[in-house]
Structure 1
Amino acid sequence: MNAMMKPSLNDISDAWFAFHRAHDEIGDYTHRADAGEEFFWVIEYLGDTARHEPQTCWDAISLIWSRTDKNDMARLASLAAGPLEDLLAYHGREVSPWVEQLCLSEPVFRTLLQGVWQNAILPDVWERINELRNSGGEA
């Protein structure tokens, strides 16, 4: 990805899946191998947007979520424990209403929340995340 160009959401999603497919091919689900190196930029990009551009990060997470097979536990775990957890840690109060809305419109989204750890998520945000994942998304 050219550093001067901002990637589209489709570019981000495509690179996310390409990076993970490369690791799937060699059976490396811990991402310790150099597989998919040409797509590693997406991991860094999502980390940066989680810190500095919460809406962009959320839009990317939402698109990746929509394109992910809901039975693909490895991919869901990576999305949950990576960009979603980071986004909640950096901007939890801002984004928790977005998470709540997605839980309400797509109750299966709460399964993704099962892969989020508290990490640096604020206690009040963490409490709400737990309520959402344990209640089926109901308020």
Structure 2
Amino acid sequence: MAPSIQEHGEAFLTMSLAENPKDTPKDVFETGYWLTGVSKMKDPSMWWEIIKYVVSRYDTTDLIADAATEAKSVLGHLAAGPLEDLLWFNGAEFIEQVSREAKQDSRVCWMLSLVRRGDMTEELWSRVLIASHRSDG
């Protein structure tokens, strides 16, 4: 049986918090790596649900704290990896959902502010900038 969204999300959290993700138990590493590995391109809808699950584990106040927080670390990792890749590979399909979520959830908006353009089209990048309240291009 394939791991659930929650199992993938918990494994990603475990890996993100580990000093060296490769030192996590093999089953946890493989389940968590699914979100950052090539498998994500096979099921981008599940990928998006896992991202939202991980985001839901943290409070917005942890992102605005002056000090370093676990939320900043994990959600920063999630933004600069899986969310960024979701937009790079499936942005046209997901930008509407991601933008809508960013309007409703400041944690997603915060994460979008960390996404790099990469190979995104001008139109897609413009929508990311708008959703993240950024002006850089």
1:21 aligns with 2:11: no
Task: Give unpaired runs (5+ residues) of structure 1.
Answer: 24-30
Cα distance in 2, alignment partners of residues 19 and 13 from structure 1: 10
Matches within 5 A, 1:58-77: 58-70=48-60, 71=62, 72-77=71-76
Which residue pairs with 2:33 in the alignment? 44
Matches within 5 A, 1:1-139: 5-23=1-19, 31=20, 34-36=22-24, 38=26, 39-46=28-35, 47-70=37-60, 71=62, 72-134=71-133
Q: Percent identity?
A: 26
Task: Give unpaired runs (5+ residues) of structure 2.
Answer: 63-70
Alpha-carbon displacement from aligned partner over 1:36-93 (angstroms, at most 9, x marks no partner): 2522213431133431211110011011111134422111110001110111011001
Aligned residue type for 1:48: V
1:34 aligned counterpart, secondary structure: helix
Aligned residue type for 1:36: T
Cα distance in 2, alignment partners of residues 122 and 35 from structure 1: 37
- TM normalised by structure 2 equals 0.79
- TM normalised by structure 1 equals 0.78
2:115 aligned counterpart, secondary structure: coil
Assess if the C-alpha contact under 8 Å between 2:10 and 2:32 holds in 1.
no
Cα distance in 2, alignment partners of residues 113 and 42 from structure 1: 24
Assess if the C-alpha contact under 8 Å between 1:50 and 1:90 holds in 2.
no
Number of positions where the alignment pairs a residue of Structure 1 with one of Structure 2: 123
The CA RMSD measured in Å over matched residues stands at 1.9
